[in-house]
Chains A and B, each alone.
Chain A
């Protein structure tokens, strides 16, 4: 049975200028595998990820024909049931650790609060677990990082802290929403390889959201290409070059290649989409 099943997901925002449909009917299912979601800004990929956690705030609305996680209906689950899933069984890593970590709480408190509040662990046990989690994301001096505030960390370190925080409860599904877009290119590879190894070792399901088609292709088993709130193509990552949909082809064509011809890059032909 699949881990996550989403059928005809719609996310709408009731704004002053009328209804905005961010996601207009997305369906996919996910096992213990890595699913990539790619698309340009505003294609609805982030909203799809957040809808799975039911973290769309009013005036946003989530509708779907069905949405189940491990057989449990998460479309109609109560807020209490959702809280039990969030953090514990589904985690999410966001784009920029500068904003996704609480600026006035130490890293240690943010790492341990779930353990202490939810699992009722004592201070020492929670700290030990948090330090182990920091070591798992290859932070050398975890004791010191525990005492640091987020603004004292570099972007790469912050993102590792974020990954550690989400992996502490050993979730079955991790949603990574552009986890490396805010990082320097050199740090990106490093953070990605840490994420890759942890997800592989623990056999988690992963939804990797990105605008970087190549990155997703390298990192995932399967790719959903989204455009204007719809999935335009679903394809195995290894067969990306055989993509049929003009939008996917367009996206691929936009990427420069080292050693390729040095003329102007083609742009997306939006007329055909």
Chain B
């Protein structure tokens, strides 16, 4: 048998494109399911949207009029259809508390969370991955122990406590950073009235406006909560990186790379890292999604007007449309990130492309 079977023809991107299309299909189905759940919840919970609008002294006629206006007199399946149609056009209902559209409120709150979670994830990854690699390449060493202990603290200490201590030390005592909130009040006014808003993320908007004083103030506000979230995700990412890396370093292809005389940095950071990246993408995406879903405690302590505080406030005032609108957004974020990590996964791992 001297013939060598030829490998399959090469077109690396085609399967990825198919995957993206498939993923979008899954995305649509998942979101439909999510909308169904929030729709059912809205109809099941004992808060009457009509009553909360008209008040207790309304007449039968007034109640009926509002019911009709809200479409509550229609059959359930029609109501659901309208709900989905509205959601697709970006209409998530009207907040009971403020009377403003939920979608536009979330559009104001979500960028704050996005900014915070993104920065936190960047910190967590930039520190967590090298720390995990360091620990994995020298198991049992002092460096490994330090990474272990620091990571364990991130796992086990409650976020609210770390946040309070952080504020006490770095804001209260050392005065290295600014306190709660996204900006000092004066800069807040500036942001509101003189600068153009592009994204709702202050760091990006102020930079685009060239307002570097605002930018600097925003950095001094975000650095502590982002550092805190970064620490928590670093704890998780470094542990996972360590175990993935240990596993890969025990593989035979690592020996091959060493037999070829490759320097150790290349063995670890190219040969092993390319394989570690595959599961690590999922880990980082999940940790990012976790932070994006609104880190309620962190946002509360740092008076951060993000999605977490928004949903919590809405819950406490029984503002059902706001709660469910927030839930839908969280769901969309989660599903989208999952899909993104699926696609990245396939780009990195040739075995997953077939």
Which among A1-9, A63-71, A140-148, A246-254 touches the partner chain?
A: A140-148
Q: Which of A55, A154, A190 meets B255, CB within 8 Å?
A: A55
Q: Are B274 and A157 in contact (CB under 8 A)?
A: no
Q: 18 additional contacts, CB 8 Å, given A55-B259, A83-B261?
A: A53-B258, A79-B264, A85-B261, A86-B259, A86-B260, A87-B259, A92-B259, A94-B252, A100-B253, A102-B256, A103-B253, A103-B275, A104-B350, A105-B274, A113-B260, A118-B261, A140-B4, A153-B7
CB distance from A53 to the nearest CB of B (A): 6
Restricting to A88-143, which residues have a CB under 8 Å from any CB of B? 88, 91-92, 94-96, 99-105, 113-114, 117-118, 138-141
Question: For B1, B259, B348, which residue has the most chain A Cβ atoms within 10 angstroms?
Answer: B259
Residue B89 is within 8 A (CB to CB) of chain A in the complex:
no
Interchain residue pairs A-B with the least CB separation, the first 5: A87-B261, A99-B252, A148-B7, A86-B261, A87-B260
Which residue of the partner chain A has the closest CB to B349? A104
Chain B contact residues, CB within 8 Å of chain A: 1-8, 10, 251-253, 255-264, 266, 271, 274-275, 278, 348-351
Residue A32 is within 8 A (CB to CB) of chain B in the complex:
no
Docked pose: A84 CA to B266 CA in angstroms: 15
Contacts of A92 in B (CB 8 A): 255, 259
Residue A186 is within 8 A (CB to CB) of chain B in the complex:
yes
Chain A contact residues, CB within 8 Å of chain B: 50, 53, 55, 79, 83-88, 91-92, 94-96, 99-105, 113-114, 117-118, 138-141, 144-145, 147-149, 151-154, 156-157, 160, 162, 165-166, 186-187, 190
Q: Are A102 and B5 in contact (CB under 8 A)?
A: no
Which residue of the partner chain A has the closest CB to B255? A55
Query: Can you give 15 A-B contacts (C-beta < 8 A)?
Result: A53-B259, A55-B255, A55-B259, A86-B259, A86-B261, A94-B255, A99-B251, A100-B256, A105-B271, A157-B4, A160-B4, A165-B256, A166-B260, A186-B1, A187-B1
Contacts of B2 in A (CB 8 A): 138, 190
CB distance from B266 to the nearest CB of A (A): 7
Docked pose: A105 CA to B256 CA in angstroms: 13
Docked pose: A121 CA to B4 CA in angstroms: 29
CB distance from A123 to the nearest CB of B (A): 17
Q: Are B6 and A141 in contact (CB under 8 A)?
A: yes
Q: Are B3 and A140 in contact (CB under 8 A)?
A: yes
Q: Are A149 and B351 in contact (CB under 8 A)?
A: yes
Q: Are B4 and A117 in contact (CB under 8 A)?
A: no
Q: Which of B8, B10, B252, B278 meets A100, CB within 8 Å?
A: B252
Contacts of B255 in A (CB 8 A): 50, 55, 92, 94, 100
CB distance from A181 to the nearest CB of B (A): 13
Q: Are B350 and A149 in contact (CB under 8 A)?
A: yes
Contacts of A53 in B (CB 8 A): 258-259
Contacts of B3 in A (CB 8 A): 140
Docked pose: A252 CA to B6 CA in angstroms: 40
When A55-B259, A92-B259 are in contact, do A151 and B351 touch as well, CB less than 8 Å? yes
When A104-B274, A118-B261 are in contact, do A144 and B6 touch as well, CB less than 8 Å? yes
